[in-house]
Amino acid sequence: MRRIGIDVGGTNTDAVLIEDGKVTGAVKAPTTEDVTSGILDALKRLGATGLLQGKKIDAVMIGTTHFINAVVQRKHLSKVAALRLGMPSGASLPPFCDWPGDLATLVRGGVWMVEGGHEYDGRPFMPLDREAVTNAAREMKAKGLKAVAISSVFSPLDPSHEREAAEIVAAENPGAIITCSSDLGRIGLLERENAGLLNAALADLARDTIAAFDKAIRDSKIDAPLFITQNDGTVAEAHQAMKLPVYSFASGATNSMRGAAYLSGLDDAMVADVGGTTTDIGQLKNGFPREANSVVQVGGVRTLFRMPDLMSFGLGGGSHVALDPVKIGPLSVGYRLLTDGIAFGGGQLTTTDVAVAAGILPLGDKAKVAHLDKDTVAKVFDEAKRMVEVTVDMMKTEAGDVPLLAVGGGAFLIPDTLEGVSRVVRVEHGDCANAVGAAIAQVSGECDQIFRDMTRNDALDAAAAVASDRAVAAGADRSTLKTIETEDMPIAYLPGNSLRVRVRVVGDVASG
Amino acid sequence: MTDLRELSIDDIESLSVGAWILGTGGGGSSYLGLLNMRALYAEGYRVSLMQPADLADDDWVAAVSNMGAPLVGQERLTDSRTIARAVDLMERHTGYRFRGIMALEIGGGNSIQPLMAAAHLGRPVIDADMMGRAYPEAQMTSVAVGDLKPYPLSTVDCRGLESVVEKVPTWKWMERVSRKICVEYGSIASTCKAPRTGREVKDWGIHGTTTKAIEIGHAVREAQRRHEDPIAAILSVEPGKVLYRGKVMDVERRATEGFLRGRTRFDGIDEWKSTSMELAFQNEWIVAWQDGEPIAMSPDLICVLDSVTGEAVGTETIRYGQRVTVIALPCPPVFMTPKGLQHVGPRAFNYDIEFKSVFA
């Protein structure tokens, strides 16, 4: 197996070549405004190593923050037609009702609410009003709306109304790009619908961006299928990822954690990814980041879908340092580190300066930080240690010491011994762990449903079967499937021993 | 002249934070109710608060609450008109014209229900409820302790289903029958409880609880804004007591008889460093043990708060590693009587413990 992994970060675009499980090449190029020239540049640099010469590449996996940036910066978003099936419930809280005003104004193309949806136990809530859906589809067409988001009450349990409505809209409105909320989300209509609306708003951008990625690869004379990495540390084939851009929102941090697991061989550990401004801490379980089971805000919009459970705090290689009393961050000099840091002739004391004074980093001019005595240096490192310890402890789900993988450019800030940590592990190529994570990504499937009148084991098995089928549909090789996450929660007030079960499985990309 | 105070949208934002704290771990999220109120206020609707003392003895008051599974509520989004329809059905059924609308429970999402009904019906909200917090069952109210009439009760759902429970012999029967109706509706229903006279609200209502929730929420939000200690802010407006500061070490949950039951274990920090605490819950926090000794119990309010934000931590969302502060708030005197303790004391939740108040 020979794969190229690319991570398009805020500052750098990293590319690695992995051959037979080993990193044989790793390069960095500056990220560009249009994203693709940075990718082209990185691929050119990788090609310049001679490593790609005459070799067949099996796959290229790209992780990008492009889609989440579009939401945060309110750029390149399409107008969306929102169709909700569930009247007469929730009529006073229509789609977009909890969006920030500026974003709603930009994205809201029209709202249609019609009868339909299901009950928690699978009974229909109201029959689907097909005529109203048809009329809505015609109005969308008249308004020139091409991006459509459909949501339905309890669609994670029964997506049939969303599917049927999608068929009607597609028939009336050929060329419409349709997002069904059941393809994205979990229980929680407003949050799932929000994820669908964001997804629809990004559909045009995703199509153009991924097509440009594809072209960059072809232009680099690489003949290999393209995959895009997802929030949960897995990949989707390019044509599938195009339909679900919100699934690629948080792939950077996830790829980092996956890469760290791969490079270290540890599947169960904490990971601290120390960048220039912040440290992200997450927990690996079976080699994958644990997921947040709660609302995640994206650009001010509440959503609920697969995202890694991460805690981010202001400790990085460029963090401002105050000495009296000792305080680190949250401000950072960011990419101006090599001009603004004291060791580099600047005027802002940073964590990097302290590390230079301590003799840890062979950078800059050590004489410029000679005024930082041993005691001061120790105090700053103690503060960094305390910050990491508290967050590691908050990320744990049970008592006991765990290993900690320290990756990223600022990993020097993590001391070798920490309370609650059995050992600190550092790995070669740890500074491109994210590109490595992209290169080794697998395909996943998930199930989140309520099961009634079943034993717990039967419910878990039923959920695993649904998740497995979805993974295979997404391109996984069935013989390699493995369950990586199982969670069940009894539900109050529902009859019949209702149990909500969430299962996630992963497998290798099926060849051919 | 009746003294009415118009609530600002900021009051309602505070109410939602304070009510979640008075929910003592349960009561459900008030987020959707708050969204509804923001939308109503944006459309120009307003709600006023009326003091129980301003009611005439022969006025009629509607007591409302939403009933059912919070999970269903996350899909079938709370619609402000549904709760107003429950009140309307009760008026049609009894022929009364309600002077005002009050909350059954001030804890959690049900604190906002009367406001939504009040906005649509153009009546004031009465500054009182029947629990002073959240409790899981119908007989756990001040009016049940007072042996007031438990019927009739109206239930509606958003599709237009309407039922009235005309008569039941006891509050426990009301709990059983109304819950059956709720399940048939799809496990969520808006309800108008047995109508109360002005006299009954004055004698048995728990007064000032809407104001109290607003004050608590306001204190927390102000402290957050100023980066001050929100727990201290709560204790500056309420005569409460810090029971414990620590970290969640273990959570055990099980659903039995339709309730979420379980236990949470904490490890102490600060002055509680070498002590442990365990909290038992049945939807809400019920009993707290420190080093095996029961130190706080229902009906005193046990509130678990995020040590940093001061916001309430619910029994459904608490998880390992959270830094929390456990505080106790005094309970309404009606529940401290022998009759009150029969309804909501530790034995009502199957704990064979003699009630002793934190504030005794």
Using one digit for the tens of pLDDT, what is the confidence trace for B343-359?
A: 999 999 999 999 999 99
Question: Is there a single domain that holds both residue A432 and residue A322?
Answer: yes
Residues A343, B192: Cα–Cα separation, whole Å: 71
Which tokens hold the place of B195?
A: 């109508």
Best residue of A84, A85, A92 to probe chain B, by most B CBs closer than 10 Å = A92
User: How much is the average pLDDT of B147-160?
Assistant: 96
Nearest CA among B52, B196, B44, B49 for reference residue B118? B49
pLDDT of residue B344: 96
Residue B1 has pLDDT above 60, yes or no: no
Rg of chain B over all Cα atoms, to the nearest angstrom:
19
Task: Give the separation between CA B166 and CA A492, rounded to whole angstroms.
Answer: 27
Chain B positions with Cβ closer than 8 Å to A = 32, 35-36, 39, 68-72, 74-81, 158-160, 183, 186-187, 247, 249-250, 253-255, 258-260, 283, 316-317, 319-323
Q: Is residue A496 part of a domain?
A: yes
- Per-residue pLDDT tens over the stretch A208-237: 999 999 999 999 999 998 999 988 888 888
Three-class HEC string of B251-276: EEEEEECCEEEEEEEEEECHHHCCCE
Q: What's the whole-number mean pLDDT along residues A94-99?
A: 97
| B183 and B63 share one domain | yes
DSSP line for B106-157: -SGGGGTHHHHHHHHHT-PEESEESSSS--SSTTSSHHHHTT-----EEEE-
pLDDT for the residue numbered A293: 67
CA-CA distance, A280 to A257, in Å (whole number)? 10
- Tell if the CB–CB gap between A396 and B320 is shorter than 8 Å: yes
- The reply to whether A6 and A89 lie within a common domain is no
pLDDT digits (tens, 9 = 90+) for A392-404: 988 887 778 999 9
Are A51 and A92 in a shared domain? no
Q: Is the pLDDT of residue A159 over 70?
A: yes
Taking residues A420-436, what's their average pLDDT?
A: 92
Assess whether A318 and A411 both reside in one domain. yes
Query: Which one of B36, B37, B71, B256 makes the best mutation probe of the A interface by having the most chain A beta carbons within 10 Å?
Result: B71
Residue B339 is which amino acid?
K
Are B235 and B294 in the same domain?
A: yes
User: What is the structure's pLDDT at A169?
Assistant: 98
Last residue of one domain, picked from the residues B160, B177, B209: B209
Tell me whether residues B79 and A493 touch, CB distance under 8 A: no
Rounded CA-CA distance A377/A412 in Å is 13
* Residue A177: pLDDT band with limits 50, 70, 90: very high
Last residue of a domain, one of A384, A417, A436: A436
Orientation angle between helical segments B80-94 and B31-42, nearest 10 degrees: 90
Has residue B119 been placed in a domain?
yes
Same domain, residue pair A105 and A180: yes
Token pair recorded at residue B39: 């939308």
CA distances from A427 to A355, A431, A433, B114, B183 (A): 19, 9, 9, 59, 55
Do B191 and B234 share a structural domain? Answer: no
Rounded to whole angstroms, the Cα distance separating A111 from A248 reads 26
**What CATH number has the domain bearing residue B123?**
3.40.1610.10
Same domain, B35 and B173: yes
**What's residue A464's pLDDT?**
95
Over range B190-195, report the average pLDDT: 97
pLDDT in tens, A234-268: 888 888 889 999 988 877 888 999 999 999 999 99
Residues A55 and A35 in one domain: yes
Q: Is residue B356 part of a domain?
A: no
Decide if A495 and B258 are in contact by the 8 Å CB cutoff: yes
Closest-CA residue of chain A to B81: A92
* Domain co-membership, B197 together with B287: no
Over residues B233-241, mean pLDDT: 97
Domain identity same for A120 and A166:
yes
Last residue of a domain, one of A416, A436, A456: A436
Q: Are both B160 and B276 inside the same structural domain?
A: no
Neighbours of A320 (CB within 10 A): 17
For B90-122, the pLDDT digits (tens) are 999 999 999 999 999 999 999 999 999 999 999
Average pLDDT over residues B33-61: 98
State the amino acid at position B33 in one-letter form: G
pLDDT tens readout for residues B193-228: 999 999 999 999 999 999 999 999 999 999 999 989
> Residues A85, A116: contact at Cβ < 8 Å?
yes
Q: Is residue A469 over pLDDT 90?
A: yes
pLDDT for A359-391, tens place per residue?
988 888 999 999 999 999 999 999 999 999 989
**Are A317 and A430 found together in one domain?**
yes
Mean pLDDT of A265-278: 91
Quick one: tokens of B238? 């309420």
| Domain end call among A201, A220, A244 | A201
Return the SS3 of A233.
coil
Same domain, A53 and A115: no
Q: CB within 8 A of A445, min separation 6: which ones?
A: A466, A467, A468, A469, A470, A471, A472, A473, A474, A476, A504, A505, A506
**Residue whose entry in the numeric block shows the structure tokens 């309804």:** B343
Q: Return the pLDDT at B261.
A: 86
Domain interval for residue B334 = 230-349
Mean pLDDT throughout A404-424? 93
Does residue A218 sit in the same domain as residue A324? no
**Domain total in chain A:** 4
Residues A364 and A468 in one domain: no
The answer to whether ipTM exceeds 0.90 is yes
Domain carrying residue A84 = 78-201
As a whole number, the mean pLDDT across chain A is 90
Nearest CA-CA distance, residue B317 and chain A, Å: 9
Residue A308, in any domain of the structure: no
Contact present, B315 and B283 (Cβ < 8 Å)? yes
Joined together, the tokens standing for residue B169 give 């012999």
Residue of A nearest to B186 (CA): A119
Considering chain A, what percentage of its residues have pLDDT values greater than 90? Answer: 59
The arithmetic mean of pLDDT across residues A19-38, rounded, is 87
In a domain, residue A101? The reply is yes
Token pair for A42? 């990185």
What residues have CB less than 8 Å from B78, skipping those under 6 apart?
A: A90, A92, A93, B32, B33, B36, B66, B109, B116
Q: What mean pLDDT do residues B254-281 have? A: 87
Q: Are residues B169 and B62 in the same domain?
A: yes
Average pLDDT over residues B34-42: 97
Residues A92, B81: C-beta atoms closer than 8 Å: yes
pLDDT-wise least confident of A130-134, A415-419, A496-500: A496-500
> Residue A405: is its pLDDT beyond 70?
yes
- pTM score: 0.88
User: Nearest CA of chain A to the CA of B38: how many Å?
Assistant: 10
At residue A231, the pLDDT reads: 86
The answer to whether residue B218 is domain-embedded is no
Residue B321 has a pLDDT of: 80
pLDDT at A493: 56
In whole angstroms, give the CA distance from residue A153 to residue A116.
8
